[in-house]
Amino acid sequence: MKFFGKAMGATAAIALTVTMAATTADAQDRVRWKMQSAFGSQLPHIGASGVRFQKDLERMSGGRLEVKFHEPGALVPTLECFDAASKGAVEACWTTPGFHAGKIPALPFFTTVPFGPGLGEFTAWLWFGGGKALKNEIYAPHGLYSVDAYCHGPETSGWFRREIKNVDDMKGIKMRFFGLGAKVMQKVGVSTQLLAPADIFPALERGVIDATEFSMPTMDIKQGFHQVAKFNYFPGWHQQVSCAEVLMNKKAWDALPDQYKAMIDIAGKAQVAITNAESEYMQFSAMQEMAEKHKVQIKRWSDEDLATYEKLWVEVVAEESAKDPLFKKVADHYFNFRKQYAIWGEAQALKPTYLKK
């Protein structure tokens, strides 16, 4: 009986040790991150995808990995997330490299490029052509690491209070403009400024800006631009595809177990596919709503105007590359890939006419 008692005591001690170890391991596996979003959760596609990203991680991890979505401005100002993640004030940001242009002018290349490719070619460059690696090489000295998140297709190229008959009519306009396209607008004679999404409508309504571009019709309607600007121009030459990121504090990223890193990467890529398909599906009905319900005049730039914008974009690349070695490095990397891709892309180009009947 003494032996039995000692055996039972030893067994209980072992069981307690195993239980404590399991509890400790379980606690260590639980990760709670704060993720500041640049886009509100109610904003179609780009905000909603951040919420979906959070939920996907919860499902894949069984609730052990929580990357909590916080509304714009809840933790830090929208356009200051680069510094916040770099310093570790937040672990992650649901944002876009284009919002960091003031710090590193080359970063917008990883969101969208004027007269750039569609989603297939752009993600080919990012994921297999070395684009993502180059982006994280740029982020590394700042203590940051990026995983690609949602992407969506072409945007509109601007909302205007009055009809713009040609490029010359743009001179002197004050306009919210994003990314590399803003440099083209500046050469046209437009006074540009980058505003966070929530700040655009108040600025347009009060006349602080005369015009704005933001995104696709579904999102632009949600923002209410049609209430004060009735002329909407296409195509979105400055953003033929737009891709975003989960921008993370690198120390926090490095400390994650490999399986959690895989979940974040997979959940990010899922948003690329889902958000792109969802947004493409919803735009034609949104355009009908704009025209029929809100009496928006949908305009298209002439071929001559588009040629002017493209010419100015080429000049921007040359000028920025001459004064910024990092800009040149990224531009060369991007354009070299596009030249190689053209062997395939141009061989497959079609211009179907049967849908016009």
HEC string for 110-161 = HCCCCCCCCHHHHHHHHHHCCHHHHHHHHHHHHCEEEEEEEEECCCCCEEEC
SS3 67: strand
In the chain, which stretches have pLDDT less than 50? Answer: 1-8, 10-25, 27
Rounded to an integer, what distance in angstroms lies between the CA atom of residue 58 and that of residue 161?
Answer: 44
What pLDDT, on the 0 to 100 scale, is given for residue 7?
Answer: 44
Sequence-distant (6+) residues with CB within 8 A of 82 are: 93, 95, 99, 100, 103, 142, 144, 247
pLDDT of residue 51: 98
CATH 3.40.50.300, applies to 27-152+243-281 = no
Residues sharing a CB contact under 8 Å with residue 203, sequence separation 6 or more, in sequence order: 176, 195, 209, 212
Same fold: 27-152+243-281 with 154-239+294-324: yes
Q: What are the contacts of 120-123 at 24+ separation with CB within 8 A? A: 121/338, 121/341, 121/345, 122/151, 122/241, 122/243, 123/148, 123/151, 123/243, 123/272
**Which residues are within 8 A (CB) of 210 and not within 5 positions of it... i.e. 6 or more apart?**
160, 161, 173, 174, 175
Q: How many CA within 13 A on the CB side of residue 44? A: 20
* Cβ–Cβ < 8 Å for 35, 68: yes
Please give the CATH superfamily to which domain 154-239+294-324 belongs: Periplasmic binding protein-like II (3.40.190.10)
The confidence score (pLDDT) of residue 21 equals: 37
User: What does the pLDDT read at residue 354?
Assistant: 75
What is the rounded distance in angstroms from the CA atom of residue 220 to the CA atom of residue 232? 10
Determine the Cα–Cα distance for residues 265 and 263; give it in Å rounded to an integer. Answer: 5
Residue 28: per-residue pLDDT: 54
Residues 204 and 189: their CA atoms lie apart, in Å, by 19
Closest to 197 in 3D by CA, of 96, 293, 297, 279: 96
Domain boundaries, the chain: 27-152+243-281, 154-239+294-324
Q: What are the two backbone dihedrals, phi and then psi, of residue 95, each rounded to the nearest 5 degrees?
A: -150, -160
